[in-house]
Amino acid sequence: MYLTDRSAPAHAGTDQERRRGPGRKVAPVVLVLGTVSLITDISSEMVTAVLPLYLVTTLGFSPLGFGTLDGVYNGVSALVQLTGGHLADRIRNHKLLAGLGYGLSALCKPLLLLASSIGTLGAVLALDRTGKGLRTAPRDAMISLSTPTGKQGRAFGVHRAMDTTGAMLGPLAAFLILRTAVDGYDAVFGVSACVAVLGVLVLVLFVPGRERGAGRRGAGQAGEPSASGDARAAATATDSDSAQDDAAASDETQAAPGAKQPVRVREALALLRIPRLRALAGCAALLGLTTVSDAFVYLLLQRRAGIAEEWFPLLPLGTAVVFLLLAVPVGALADRIGRRTVFLAGHAVLLTAYALLLWAPDTPALPCLVLALHGVFYAATDGVLPAALAAVVPGHLRASGLAIVGTSQALARFCCSLAFGAAWTMWGDGPALAGSAIGLLCCAAVAGVVLRPADSTR
Amino acid sequence: MTSMRRRLLILVAAVLVLAGVATGVVLHAAARADRANRPQAGGPAVGAGKLTLDQTKRLAFVNGAAGPHRTAVAAVPSDDPKAKRVASDLKCVRFYAAAGTGVCLQSTTGVLKQSNRALLLDANLRTRRTFALAGTPSRARVSPSGRLAAWTVFVSGESYSSAFFSTRTSILDTRTMKLVPSLESFSIVKDGQPYKAADVNFWGVTFARDDDTFYATLNTANKTYLVRGSLAQRKVTTLIENVECPSLSPDETRVAFKKRILSRTDLWHEYVLDLKTLKETALAERHSVDDQATWLENHTVAYALPTQGKVGTSDLWSVPADGTGTPRLLIPGASSPAPL
């Protein structure tokens, strides 16, 4: 049972409550998970910010070829996500799986100090990514399950904003330490480990861990968040002017078998028979195939706008600031006008950014505009996609469902960066981006059509 | 409620413990950094003094010995490298000099990133010009006449992306102050054919006396090549495979280089290549050399090796260039050798 379900309006007073203003409120568990992500991201971004420097200056590595390894890790991480999501549903303990994931990554920070060859370092980084892969789906499932369907967008927005804040504070902390202690990479890793432990601790202490199945058997206990909880949440959401796809949720939750039986792989696979989930996963993958990875976007922008190379590391900050400022309002907007609309609009914004990169005159405003659009794209898609799933996937399979969509998107983006790299090599940066833009336009059109019928069936 | 209070107490206690550990770790590292700036008993003698690049029979280098002059450009007499080091007040990560022109690559830690720059130096080690660098300093070279300078840095997307981790090599004509920001803009002839690819990286330039010809490493499609280039023609031509960080001998007949002995590992062996016969000779150094070697004269090369059992410091070694003999410890606690 999740704390938040207690606060989730589930009775006649709902409407009043909402009008009094708790519409602005997110479930406490979302705030706790946001805090955990914030702390963990400080920890992990501290390491990523200085790792290249550490490799070159202290270990004396020639880091060429390290980038390829990184791509492979991202692929592995995506597959682990699938496992994490399914296991979390299976043992019906999202907190345990998320905790294991956060714990594994925390463990890796001190191990970095012991890694002195590219092999051991690769192993530690792989372990770190495994932790990240394990925790993603159960964590998002906890956010999803603790929030009524009509407020999913805002809840995920709050989480992503906190997450991004951590990612921005991390490099700041790392370079502060490096200025205090010259060449103090060990200190950066040590502090990062302490911060990571704190993140795990906040999760262990403040995320309620009682599983949903138990809550169900203890009938009448406060805050029962499983199938019927979802239905209630869906019902409350439906009477607002929010997402049209809420009806699907109650259908699905009623169709879903009682959560008493353990979740089997077969059952998780049966998720793919839900047309709406298939559509979402398919569209996420399709759009992912044409979403040029951030690194390429920054590189294209840097070349296009002639930004001095020493400022290159600061470009992602522009995206992050916009993302962090807009994640909550855009998430709330998605709740109001429909997640499909916002998700597709986000890709239209990305398409505009591509077009600017390709054709806009070179003015000083160009980098700001492109970074802002890139940030809007993240705000309109990163949290909105999992938010859309809440109404589609039954509660006891939520983590699996989130993992399926997350994995298909991540793998598609991975393929895209390989393909984009190859296209860049063969045809140059302009044609490669133009190709992606055309691809994105087609995919967005297809997604617009595919995602519509499910809405209109209602 | 009591349980909430207990959990909050645990959290507060944990925050205190973790903050204590974190502070301890940072203070420990800061103390160590501080120690490195204090002279150590048994360390080499280093003293501040006047150092100019038009001196002769001197070996300049970046001093790595603990003390106030750590990372400063210093020099010793070529025939007495154990003598007291004369240190300037110029601090560099990487350094090279020839014929009164010097290049100093520096790194400073900023708020959100590392700031790197290249200083072009006159004979009195005064900065003539400063260039912002795109990444972490790696190699620096000056042509024998002192007219051309080159440097290589490692560039990465740092925190948000790791898809890019590449090198950037620039060449500067110090007479016209014309800078080639990246050798990647030069045309490439590979195996006799014009070649174009986005994954091209260059590093480790070495210059000939004519102030036009240079040699460098070219990396593309997971292979490294020795290239000969012409600055005037903005063109490079591949010569042979598996050559990194070339260094041209003073008589311009041979190139010392590091050769990767096992693909996909960071293990190199130092070789000398005869440019006429393309015959490779393995040098007597048995350790993996990850440096751009420097010719002390036509028969000896010098290079840095990590100090045994220590992280972050290196020693300078020398070895005969014909594959005979044994390596000799030239200057402990030093890097970036540059014979003046």
pLDDT of A15 reads: 40
Name every chain A residue with its beta carbon within 8 A of the beta carbon of B15.
Answer: 198
Closest CB to A53 among B36, B136, B167? B136
Instruction: Please report the beta strands in A170-210, taking only residues with DSSP state E, as ranges in sequence order.
Output: none
User: Does domain A269-456 sit in CATH 1.20.1250.20?
Assistant: yes
Would the CB atoms of B26 and A180 count as touching at under 8 Å?
yes
Nearest Cα to Cα of residue A451 among A396, A391, A401, A399: A391
Would the CB atoms of A201 and B10 count as touching at under 8 Å?
yes
Taking the Cβ of residue B168 and every Cβ of chain A, the question of whether any pair is shorter than 8 Å is answered with yes
pLDDT band at A145 (very low <50, low <70, confident <90, very high): very high
Average pLDDT over residues A351-368: 90
Distance from CA of A153 to the nearest CA of B (A): 24
**Nearest chain A Cα to B152, which residue?**
A62
Residues composing chain A: 458
Which phi and psi (to 5°) does residue B158 adopt?
50, -135
The token duo for B4 is 């909430």
Residue B249, pLDDT above cutoff 60 = yes
Name every chain A residue with its beta carbon within 8 A of the beta carbon of B199.
Answer: 421, 425
pLDDT of A17 reads: 40
Distance from CA of A175 to the nearest CA of B (A): 6
Name every chain B residue with its beta carbon within 8 A of the beta carbon of A186.
Answer: 25, 29
Distance from CA of B191 to the nearest CA of A (A): 19
The pLDDT mean for chain A works out to: 80
Which residue ranges make up each domain of chain A? 24-212, 269-456
Average pLDDT over residues B70-80: 93
Average pLDDT over residues A426-435: 86
pLDDT of A220 reads: 34
Lowest mean pLDDT among A66-70, A356-360, A361-365: A66-70
Would the CB atoms of B154 and A293 count as touching at under 8 Å?
no
Name every chain A residue with its beta carbon within 8 A of the beta carbon of B188.
Answer: none
Cβ(A380)–Cβ(A251) under 8 Å?
A: no
pLDDT of A13 reads: 38
Residue A54, pLDDT above cutoff 60 = yes
Residue found under tokens 């925050």: B15
Residue A265, pLDDT above cutoff 90 = no
Domain A24-212 sits in CATH at 1.20.1250.20
Distance from CA of A426 to the nearest CA of B (A): 7
Name every chain B residue with its beta carbon within 8 A of the beta carbon of A70.
Answer: 162-163
Average pLDDT over residues A297-320: 84
Residue A397, pLDDT above cutoff 50 = yes
Nearest Cα to Cα of residue A59 among B203, B64, B153, B290: B290
Q: Which of A194, A382, A433 best probes binding to B when mutated, by most B CB atoms within 10 angstroms?
A: A194
pLDDT band at A24 (very low <50, low <70, confident <90, very high): low
pLDDT band at A261 (very low <50, low <70, confident <90, very high): low
Dist CA B51 CA B86 (whole Å): 7
Highest mean pLDDT out of A110-114, A200-204, A252-256, B32-36: A200-204
Task: Assign B1 to helix, strand or coil.
Answer: coil
Average pLDDT over residues B51-65: 92
Helix (H) and strand (E) counts in chain A: 20, 0
Dist CA A147 CA A230 (whole Å): 9
Distance from CA of B228 to the nearest CA of A (A): 22
pLDDT of A64 reads: 54
Residue B239, pLDDT above cutoff 60 = yes
pLDDT greater at residue A255 or residue B104? B104
pLDDT greater at residue A456 or residue A156? A156
Closest CB to A175 among B109, B138, B154? B109
pLDDT band at A334 (very low <50, low <70, confident <90, very high): very high
Residue found under tokens 């990163």: A382
Closest CB to A314 among B15, B112, B164? B112
pLDDT band at A287 (very low <50, low <70, confident <90, very high): very high
Q: CB B120: neighbour CB atoms within 10 A?
A: 19
Q: Which of A293, A310, A317, A322 best probes binding to B when mutated, by most B CB atoms within 10 angstroms?
A: A310
The token duo for A75 is 């692929």
Dist CA B223 CA B199 (whole Å): 11
Would the CB atoms of A67 and B165 count as touching at under 8 Å?
yes
Lowest mean pLDDT among A116-120, A213-217, A361-365: A213-217
Closest CB to A316 among B25, B159, B198? B159
Taking the Cβ of residue B15 and every Cβ of chain A, the question of whether any pair is shorter than 8 Å is answered with yes
Cβ(A89)–Cβ(A398) under 8 Å?
A: yes
Q: Give the number of C-alpha atoms closer than 13 A to the C-alpha of residue A255, restricted to the C-beta side.
A: 15
Average pLDDT over residues B47-72: 91
**Nearest chain A Cα to B14, which residue?**
A198
Q: Give the number of C-alpha atoms closer than 13 A to the C-alpha of residue A286, restricted to the C-beta side.
A: 22
Helix, strand and coil content of chain B, in percent to the nearest 5, comes to 10, 50, 40
Cβ(B271)–Cβ(B222) under 8 Å?
A: no
Name every chain B residue with its beta carbon within 8 A of the beta carbon of A170.
Answer: 159
Taking the Cβ of residue B115 and every Cβ of chain A, the question of whether any pair is shorter than 8 Å is answered with yes
pLDDT band at B309 (very low <50, low <70, confident <90, very high): low
Q: What is the DSSP string of A44-60?
A: HHHHHHHHHHIIIIIS-
Lowest mean pLDDT among A192-201, A416-425, B172-181: A416-425
Closest CB to A205 among B10, B22, B134? B10
Q: Give the number of C-alpha atoms closer than 13 A to the C-alpha of residue B293, restricted to the C-beta side.
A: 36
**Nearest chain B Cα to A320, which residue?**
B160
Q: Which of residues 212-271 of B touch A (CB under 8 A)?
A: 219, 222, 264-266
Nearest Cα to Cα of residue B40 among B69, B61, B81: B69
Q: How far is CA A143 from CA A133, A136, A206, A387, A398, in A?
A: 17, 11, 14, 9, 10
Closest CB to B15 among A57, A190, A198? A198
Cβ neighbourhood burial of A314 (10 Å; 0-12, 13-18, 19+): middle
Distance from CA of A240 to the nearest CA of B (A): 34
Strands B314-320 and B300-306: antiparallel
Would the CB atoms of A52 and B165 count as touching at under 8 Å?
yes
Please report the number of interchain residue pairs, chain A to chain B, with beta-carbon separation below 8 angstroms.
Answer: 183
Average pLDDT over residues A27-53: 92
Residue A7, pLDDT above cutoff 80 = no
Taking the Cβ of residue B36 and every Cβ of chain A, the question of whether any pair is shorter than 8 Å is answered with yes
Name every chain A residue with its beta carbon within 8 A of the beta carbon of B30.
Answer: 180-181, 184, 187
Task: Assign A162 to helix, strand or coil.
Answer: helix
pLDDT band at B178 (very low <50, low <70, confident <90, very high): very high
pLDDT of B1 reads: 52
Closest CB to A181 among B15, B33, B135? B33
Residue A453, pLDDT above cutoff 70 = no
Closest CB to B159 among A48, A58, A66? A48
Distance from CA of A39 to the nearest CA of B (A): 12
Nearest Cα to Cα of residue A429 among A301, A308, A316, A310: A301
Name every chain B residue with its beta carbon within 8 A of the beta carbon of A172.
Answer: 111-112
Would the CB atoms of A183 and B312 count as touching at under 8 Å?
yes
pLDDT of B311 reads: 65
Name every chain A residue with its beta carbon within 8 A of the beta carbon of B116.
Answer: 310
The pLDDT mean for chain B works out to: 90
Q: Which of B32, B158, B243 best probes binding to A when mutated, by most A CB atoms within 10 angstroms?
A: B158
Distance from CA of A313 to the nearest CA of B (A): 6
This prediction's pTM: 0.81
pLDDT of A70 reads: 60
Closest CB to B33 among A183, A293, A314? A183
Closest CB to B111 among A52, A67, A172? A172
pLDDT band at A262 (very low <50, low <70, confident <90, very high): low
pLDDT band at A447 (very low <50, low <70, confident <90, very high): very high
Average pLDDT over residues A222-233: 38
Helix (H) and strand (E) counts in chain B: 1, 27
Residue A22, pLDDT above cutoff 80 = no
Residue B121 amino acid letter: L
Q: CB A348: neighbour CB atoms within 10 A?
A: 16
pLDDT of B221 reads: 82
**Nearest chain A Cα to B306, which residue?**
A60
Lowest mean pLDDT among A18-32, A42-56, A260-274, A401-415: A18-32
pLDDT of A71 reads: 63
pLDDT of B285 reads: 92
Average pLDDT over residues B304-329: 88
Would the CB atoms of A52 and B136 count as touching at under 8 Å?
yes
Residue A225, pLDDT above cutoff 60 = no
Q: What is the pLDDT of residues B197-238, one digit of tens each?
A: 877 889 999 999 999 999 999 988 878 999 999 999 999 999
pLDDT band at A437 (very low <50, low <70, confident <90, very high): very high
Lowest mean pLDDT among A35-44, A166-175, A238-247, B189-198: A238-247
Residue A99, pLDDT above cutoff 70 = yes
Average pLDDT over residues B79-105: 94
Cβ(B229)–Cβ(B243) under 8 Å?
A: no
pLDDT greater at residue A411 or residue A258? A411
Would the CB atoms of B164 and A67 count as touching at under 8 Å?
yes
Residue A350, pLDDT above cutoff 90 = yes
